[in-house]
């Protein structure tokens, strides 16, 4: 459009120049003076036309620049909007991914907690006698080895007390296995109530119980064994409304410098056997030098 307007302006200018630039005017001897003297008005018009043309060019240049700037601004706004949209979409994707990650993490932690509890339960079951709730033979064996290692490092001894319910077979035969199981649980509870906080009572097998007494010499072990014996013998057990008399015989032994676990258990078993042979419901100490023996 600007070029068309300029063409019109220059066409008008040429029409003003045409009479002066014709062959007749050019061949006239008065051509130069005529050109210079006879057309001052024409020169003013031509100058005005040129000025208008230049102004028009400037206006169109300004308008074109403004349009280009507006187009650039529009393009910039569009690009910013697209960028913001992409950023917002990416942010939503990241937030969704973070939520999914947190959910997966929470689920993993929950699963780990469940597995940990299951493992703890399995380990507890593997170390617990299911009938009496006492520690079982496996767990007691590990605890005895821990005490033996501590004794070898520090010199702090320990003792074992093994007990066997007297005439338990007759109880099972006379009252039935359900009665036997109930009485085993009741005896286990009585023993657990009278030992010290650091002592451990285990069901060693069948009707046998084993008590581990850390940092305890023979005299102290004898006292604990006597409390356990009396706690059972003096208690009135019942089955189906009928009183049932129960007693336990105990054998006591303490660790020696060259002992292993089997040595200590063997001496406790020997003392228990002696108690059984001496009439039951007794506490006997393993025959060691300077040992003590107490029988009831």
Distance CA 203, CA 130 (A): 10
Side-chain-facing half-sphere of 259: CA atoms under 13 Å: 25
Which residues lie across from 284 on neighbouring strands?
A: 251
Beta strands in the chain (DSSP E): 158-165, 200-205, 208-214, 237-239, 242-244, 248-254, 283-285
User: What tokens does 143 get?
Assistant: 């605890």
Q: CB–CB of 210/160 below 8 Å? A: yes
Q: Angle formed by the axes of helices 168-175 and 177-194, to 10°?
A: 140
Residue 108's Cα: distance from chain center in Å? 7
Q: 234: which DSSP letter?
A: T
Q: Considering the candidates 207, 208, 215, 293, report the single residue annotated as catalytic.
A: 207
Phi, psi of 29 (to 5 degrees): -65, -15
Catalytic-residue membership of 207: yes
Q: CB–CB of 248/237 below 8 Å? A: no
Kindly give the residue spans of alpha helices, DSSP state H, lying in 130-277: 137-154, 168-175, 177-194, 218-233, 261-277
Instruction: Kindly list the catalytic residues.
Output: 207
């Amino acid at each position: 459009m600007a070029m068309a307007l300029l063409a019109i302006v220059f066409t008008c200018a040429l029409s003003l120049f045409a009479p002066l630039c014709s062959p007749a005017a050019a061949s006239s001897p008065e051509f130069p003076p005529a050109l210079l003297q006879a057309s001052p008005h024409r020169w003013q018009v031509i100058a005005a036309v040129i000025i208008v043309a230049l102004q028009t060019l400037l206006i169109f240049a300004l308008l074109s620049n403004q349009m280009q700037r507006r187009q650039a601004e529009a393009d910039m706004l569009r690009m910013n909007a697209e960028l913001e949209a992409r950023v917002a979409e990416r942010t939503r994707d990241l937030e969704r991914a973070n939520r999914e990650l947190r959910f997966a993490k929470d689920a993993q932690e929950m699963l780990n907690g469940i597995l940990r509890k299951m493992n703890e339960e399995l380990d507890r079951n593997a170390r617990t006698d299911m009938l009496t709730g006492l520690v079982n033979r496996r767990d007691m064996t590990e605890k005895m080895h821990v005490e033996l290692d501590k004794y070898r490092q520090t010199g702090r001894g320990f003792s074992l007390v093994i007990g066997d319910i007297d005439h338990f077979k007759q109880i099972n035969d006379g009252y039935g296995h359900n009665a036997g199981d109930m009485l085993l649980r009741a005896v286990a509870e009585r023993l657990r109530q009278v030992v010290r906080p650091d002592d451990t009572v285990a069901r060693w097998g069948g009707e046998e119980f084993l008590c581990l007494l850390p940092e305890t010499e023979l005299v102290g072990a004898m006292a604990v064994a006597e409390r356990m014996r009396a706690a059972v013998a003096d208690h009135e057990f019942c089955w189906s409304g009928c009183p049932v008399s129960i007693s336990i015989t105990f054998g006591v032994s303490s660790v020696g410098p060259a002992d292993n676990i089997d040595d200590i258990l063997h001496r406790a078993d020997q003392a228990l056997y002696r108690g059984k042979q001496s009439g039951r419901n007794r506490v006997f100490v393993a025959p060691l030098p300077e040992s003590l023996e107490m029988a009831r």
